[in-house]
Amino acid sequence: MNSNSLVLAIANNKGGVGKTSTALNLACAFAGTRRKVLYIDLDPQGSASVSILRTRPISIISSGNALIQGSSLVPCIVPYQLAKFDLIPASDDLTAFCIKKADDEHKEHCLKEALKSLRLIYDIIIIDCPPALNLLTINALCAADELVIPTTCDYFAVEGLGSLMRAFESLKRKGLSTVHLMGIVCTIYNQGEPLSQKIAKDLKSNMGQLLFNTVIPYCSQISEAPSVGKPVILYDKNAIGSKAYLSLAAEILSRYQQQHQQ
């Protein structure tokens, strides 16, 4: 195994909190540091895959099928030349994976097994999870070394963090996962909104060091970028959202290096 390989899951069972935007822009930022990066779209909605490939991926070997069969994910890899990272697109079979593997004894570890050979090739593997605490997210939490949770600063999103934390702790307690919670990042943050400010402050006092210093602000270019098939970092490098994602990437690498020096 590439001893320096890092598998990073971007997860939150709440929908629309910026998981895909975060995962895509982190992949782009890490690729910009000459690291070899793989982005796995584990969400059957396939938002990132559609944005990058400009069409729903049609391939004979889909990631869902490979996970069901226990075969290699290598034939599913597509290069994303513009951003200099590779992609494993989502597929409808990812939904089938949840159904077909439901009673499998090793159902939580299919992705972890599949990533063993990919860890030899890539420095960083980023997993974009679906907005559900289903078998796909569980597989991501069992395959990953580190977990990053994006959350918006609204009441329901912060309330919803509890169920993800409980699932995360339960997997660790059962010895199914060794993933480490690297941090929580506030996304789509509207600085002008008193409620967002209050929730961000409460998150800081409850989560302490777990909250990343970087906040991803509301940034219209982030929402425009997918329509032209680019992460915002490539769409408009001067946008506040691009600078924030570059800063988050640097913070993640710094936290990771600090952990490994200890």
Ligand X SMILES: Nc1ncnc2c1ncn2[C@@H]1O[C@H](COP(=O)(O)OP(=O)(O)OP(=O)(O)O)[C@@H](O)[C@H]1O
Nearer to ligand X, 182 or 222 (CB): 222
Site string for ligand X, 47-86 (x = CB under 6 A): x---------------------------------------
Taking CB under 6 A as the binding criterion, the range among 41-49, 113-121, 133-141, 251-259 that sits at the site for ligand X is 41-49
CB of 209 to Mg ion, least distance (A): 26
The DSSP bridge partners found for residue 152 are 187
Give the CB-nearest residue to Mg ion: 20
Binding stretches for Mg ion (CB under 5 A): 19-20
Contact residues for 58 (Cβ-Cβ < 8 A; gap 6+): none
When binding is defined by CB under 6 A, the residue of 6, 111, 219, 248 that contacts ligand X is 219
* Beta carbon nearer to Mg ion, 108 or 128: 128
Sign of CA pseudo-dihedral 256, 16, 241, 193:
negative
CB 142 within 8 A of CB 108: yes
Min dist CB 170 to Mg ion, Å, is 23
Query: Is the Cβ of residue 23 or residue 233 nearer to Mg ion in the bound state?
Result: 23
Q: Which stretch binds ligand X (CB under 6 A): 114-122, 139-147, 169-177, 219-227?
A: 219-227
Q: Which region, judged by CB under 6 A, interacts with ligand X, from 55-63, 73-81, 169-177, 221-229?
A: 221-229
What ranges in the chain are assigned the alpha helix state H? Answer: 19-31, 47-53, 63-69, 93-100, 110-118, 135-143, 155-173, 194-207, 220-224, 232-235, 240-261
Q: Is the dihedral of CA 59, 63, 68, 69 positive or negative?
A: positive
Cβ 100 to ligand X shortest distance, Å: 22
DSSP 74-99: GGG-EEEGGGTEEEE---THHHHHHH
Nearer Cβ to ligand X, position 43 or 146?
43
Contact between residue 24 and residue 48 where contact means Cβ atoms under 8 Å apart: yes
Query: How far is 91 from 95, CA to CA, in rounded Å?
Result: 8
230 near ligand X (CB under 6 A)? no
Q: What angle do CA 26, 81, 83 make, to 5 degrees?
A: 25
Looking at beta carbons only, is 120 or 228 nearer to ligand X?
Answer: 228
- Residues at the site binding ligand X, with contacts judged by CB under 6 A: 15-21, 43, 45, 47, 131, 187-188, 216, 218-219, 222-223, 226, 241
